[in-house]
Structure 1
């Protein structure tokens, strides 16, 4: 068995080990957490229902637990990206803090390319997706017109050449 050594640098970004080591490193992050903690790659979300003061207190206890966990595990929190999204019409919009700092409230957040606002309204997301699709369709139409005019018989797009960003989900799970 090897001896423990201090690591002087991180794992190179994009390496095969990066995500595996990160998952091992943050594996105990959810120990003792009362609310729902979602971890995806380097993004962590804490979700809870705040219809009563007990819900607000549970979220704050979990944030306090995380504030204690992060320095012990030598994890730095990107406080700029740390936001609260209050969802629901009658949400009391309680303030939360991480350690000694108050967390900024945000009217909308983008998660896995899906824009979510405090009313769970996806109109803006659908409009952006439609604009992008119309742009790609315009490019395809111009290419087909050029192909027909030039007499070229080479196919414009093959199935494995779908332009990036054309096919992605715009669905948000409902609870």
Structure 2
């Protein structure tokens, strides 16, 4: 499910797509957990095995992937909407990629869940070959290859 289904015309996500509290994330994951049990041949298997058998990433992984796709689109000018405050990183840090973004300091904890704050560490940690992809499709493919062995792909518990 993408932004089109869950956002409004301005491109802002609603709280169900990216809930701030882990308990809400777990509640959403439980919906998928129950749905995968409806498949008779998988109902007695553990949740992680059901996800692997179906090739279905955890909801946490899909949310993070969606955030990275959005950052790519913002950085490369694919969105006409107002940009969140994503500024190029200025400094000599050679780790990560050539399109690093600067993280603004925030005094309040609530700001840490803003899109412009929560995505930066993950984006800045991506390799240059991923963030400099020539298209959104190429970015998705390279991101999926880069994250193929990521622990959270089929394990929502690793995010908690």
TM-score for both structures, normalised by structure 1: 0.22
Higher helix share: 2
TM-score for both structures, normalised by structure 2: 0.24
Higher strand share: 1
